[in-house]
Amino acid sequence: MGKAHGRRWRRVVRANLANFEAGCRAAGLAQAAMVESARRMAQDYSDGILEEIRGIAAGAEVGLERLLAFNLCHGAVFSDECTVLFAMSDATAAGKVLFLKNSDKIGGASMVGENFYEHKEINVVVAIPAGDEPGVIGVTAAGSTGIKMGVNTLGVAVGTNIVRTTELRERTLDHKIDTTELRALDRIQLAREGLQKVSAFDAATSIAGRLAQQPAATPGNIEFVDSRTGVIVEGSYGCVALHVVQTGAASRANAFVALRDLNDPEDESSRGRYARAQELLTEHRGSLTPELLKQFSQDHSNGPGPNSICRHGTHYEEETSQSSMVIELDREDPGQTRFWIAMGKPCHAWRHADGNYEGLVAHLEQVPPGFASGETWQRFWSEEPNEEAEAAQVST
């Protein structure tokens, strides 16, 4: 599977790897130090993940140690921002649990050339068939074994997001991010690891235990949700908290709720997006549908800009929305769990038939070619109005 991944996305893997290494240099992190850190961290991950990374490196014809550092140290350099919200069965119209994540990310000056657009990393859809572990469908970056957002064949959904804390701001300003001393875990790798479990609670307690022993490179949330329970794992450098949700709805932006005292008071964006997400969930409680969640992911209240759920920016180094996924979990038959993936800016991609697709977990491998290659993302990613999406909206 790793070799097929590497061969399919060879050019994009190489571009993502080069960008990661440029980001390391910009942060003052030497490649040799990152490789050494990755070697030590490798013992903290399963043999299956490491074997998959070896396969990707072979398929893409890149150095194994370089790709190991890209996978295991990625969160120290480029963390997902994001807005996540979910609703339990009593809060939805059909009585099925709903989950949404908008994936937001910064860009960089090194993100140039045919594999990038407006200095952003291209998102792709990856389908991992069931074997010794549950199958997974989700969104990732080419060359990564981690999952930004996705669902497994047992009906467990996951999302992740960095949290802007005072400590993180001070470390960033002082250029003190140092994975060699942290031996830090990577959140999207932990999300993938959690999807090996049979329930949201099992996933959350397992990952919380891992974070209690050693933190991730940056503070953040990991949200695990199944058809009965949602569990949000909040983890900082010295604290871990669990928020268990069995009724109603919950959301997270780039801030803690249980560990709110650690939040950066200057982070206006997270406060605005969290308040808006909670407002939407409360207003529509009992009548929430997948179509409403798609609308929420396009919401421009407090914007459009960095403070809206669908995030826009004027400079590529701003955190802006790049893709979105909505999941409707089926309690009786997880194989009938439905999902919808929009590649590109949510307010463009959801409005055009070519920018999003619907799938069933039972047929997760049926990924449209443009979503698997990243071409759809490139077509619908833009901070500016998308003429195709605008035309499609007018015609309907």
pLDDT tens track for 34-43: 888 888 888 7
Q: Are 268 and 307 in contact (CB under 8 A)?
A: yes
pLDDT tens track for 95-123: 999 999 999 977 655 545 554 445 567 78
Q: Helical H runs in the chain? A: 2-8, 10-26, 31-42, 47-60, 64-72, 74-77, 166-173, 179-182, 187-194, 200-213, 268-283, 290-297, 346-349, 369-373, 375-380, 387-395
127 is a domain residue? yes
CA distance 204 to 208: 6
| Two structure tokens written together for 292 | 């409403």
36 is a domain residue? no
The string of DSSP codes covering 53-74 is HHHHHHHHT--HHHHHHHHHSH
Q: Is the dihedral of CA 111, 116, 122, 127 positive or negative?
A: negative
Q: Give how many domains the chain has, as a whole number.
A: 1
More confident residue, 185 or 323: 323
**Closest Cα partner for 273 from 287, 257, 261, 290?**
257
pLDDT of residue 366: 96
65 is a domain residue? no
CB atoms within 10 A of CB 171: 15
pLDDT tens track for 278-336: 999 999 999 999 999 999 999 999 989 999 999 998 776 678 899 999 999 999 999 99
CA geometry: angle 227, 232, 234, nearest 5 deg? 170
156 is a domain residue? yes
One-letter amino acid of 260: R
Residue 308 dihedral angles phi and psi, to the nearest 5°: -95, 160
Q: Helical H runs in 220-343? A: 268-283, 290-297
The string of DSSP codes covering 95-163 is S--EEEEEEEE---TT--STTEETTEEPEEEEEE--SSS--EEEEEETT--S-SEEEETTS-EEEEEE-
CATH number of the domain within which 281 lies: 3.60.60.10
Buried b (16+ CB within 10 A) or exposed e, 272-302: bbbebbeebbeebeeebbbebbbbbbbbeeb
Buried b (16+ CB within 10 A) or exposed e, 303-337: bbbbbbbbbbbeebebbbbbbbbbbbbbeeebeeb
CB atoms within 10 A of CB 119: 16
Which residue range(s) make up the domain with 284? 79-395
Q: Are 109 and 119 in contact (CB under 8 A)?
A: yes
Residue 185 DSSP one-character state: B
pLDDT of residue 107: 63
55 is a domain residue? no
Beta bridge partners of 137: 127, 151
- Lowest mean pLDDT: which of 31-40, 221-230, 271-280? 31-40
Residue 181 pLDDT level (bands cut at 50, 70, 90): very low
pLDDT tens track for 134-180: 999 999 987 888 999 999 999 999 999 999 999 888 876 655 555 44
27 is a domain residue? no
233 is a domain residue? yes
> Residue for token digits 């060699």?
180
Q: Is the dihedral of CA 100, 146, 155, 2 positive or negative?
A: positive
Q: What is the mean pLDDT of residues 40-69?
A: 88
| Two structure tokens written together for 213 | 């022993």
33 is a domain residue? no
**Closest Cα partner for 159 from 327, 278, 317?**
327
CA distance 259 to 25: 32
